Amino acid sequence: MLKLLSYPLTLLYFISFGLSLVVFHPIQWVCFNVFGYKAHKISVDWLQFFIMRSLNILGTRFSFNNPHDIPVGVPLILVANHQSMYDIPPIIWHLRKHHVKFISKKELGKGIPSVSYNLRHGGSVMIDRKDAVGSIKAIEEFAHTISAKNWAAVIFPEGTRSRDGKPKAFKTKGLKTMIQNVPDGLIVPITINNSWRLLQYGQFPLGLGAHLKFEVHMPIAISSISDIDATVEEVETTVTSKLIANE
């Protein structure tokens, strides 16, 4: 019965989601080209707000627990598990004061209203997964930008999303590259739960009543790291220890 109800509600969601992307695309263009970075960032932040409100149509709820006083004006490396594309709007919205940027695959840089425009112009980096050397070089340059501008970079070390909430092993090369090139930053582990439930039936229909939970853990000062391998292992353990795959 619940799955049957999800069909019309998913249609309503996609209409609302699509309208949000279409409406905010020209808004982003005007903000970026006329008013500059700050205005563009604000438009991107509010796009995330409306995407989250669209998800409320499906009965989706969000809990974002951030008990730590993370300083503004310090570069951050946000390290999270990855369960679906719906991980992204709450992170951008709730941590918007930190200027959240992403490492994304290059395929997302075109064809998606609002999303592709932001990836190309908003300060994120797009990499070619088939070009390992070029990807690491791009991540190094991205890390230098994050460090210079005191922004926050999100990295999903699993490399691809989990379809059932169970974590995949971290691919550590990109994360280590970020850490090595943001010497004055903080690593902030984040655990994401239940995002995968939106896709439990696949792309259509979407799951109803998912309660997406985000747990921000204690930051780690990169300047205090003596063993980068041990630190990366610690971060992975912190993120995955709070996962509740079958909640």
User: Is residue 85 one of the residues assigned to a domain?
Assistant: yes
CA distances from 240 to 82, 167, 220, 233 (A): 11, 7, 16, 11
Domain count, the chain: 1
Q: How many Å apart are CA 153 and CA 91, to the nearest integer?
A: 11
pLDDT at 128: 86
User: Is residue 36 one of the residues assigned to a domain?
Assistant: no
CA distances from 1 to 5, 7, 27, 56, 208 (A): 6, 11, 40, 19, 11
Helix, strand or coil, per DSSP, at residue 220? strand
User: Regarding predicted confidence, which is higher, 159 or 8?
Assistant: 8
CB 233 within 8 A of CB 227: no
Number of Cβ atoms within 10 Å of the Cβ of 49:
15
User: Is residue 15 one of the residues assigned to a domain?
Assistant: no
pLDDT at 246: 53
Domain membership of residue 213 as a residue range: 61-241
Which residue shows structure tokens 């990366």? Answer: 232
pLDDT at 164: 65
User: Is residue 118 one of the residues assigned to a domain?
Assistant: yes
User: Predicted confidence band at 130 (pLDDT cuts at 50, 70, 90)?
Assistant: confident
User: Is residue 43 one of the residues assigned to a domain?
Assistant: no
pLDDT at 99: 98
pLDDT at 171: 86
The pTM score is 0.93
CATH, residue 199: 3.40.50
Start-to-end Cα distance in the chain: 20
User: Is residue 121 one of the residues assigned to a domain?
Assistant: yes
User: Is residue 213 one of the residues assigned to a domain?
Assistant: yes
User: Predicted confidence band at 168 (pLDDT cuts at 50, 70, 90)?
Assistant: confident
Please give the mean pLDDT across all residues of the chain. 93
Q: How many Å apart are CA 181 and CA 202, to the nearest integer?
A: 38
User: Is residue 220 one of the residues assigned to a domain?
Assistant: yes
Q: How many Å apart are CA 27 and CA 23, to the nearest integer?
A: 7
Q: Is the pLDDT of residue 145 over 90?
A: yes
- With b for 16 or more beta-carbon neighbours within 10 A and e for fewer, the 145-161 pattern comes to bbbeebbbbbbbbbeeb
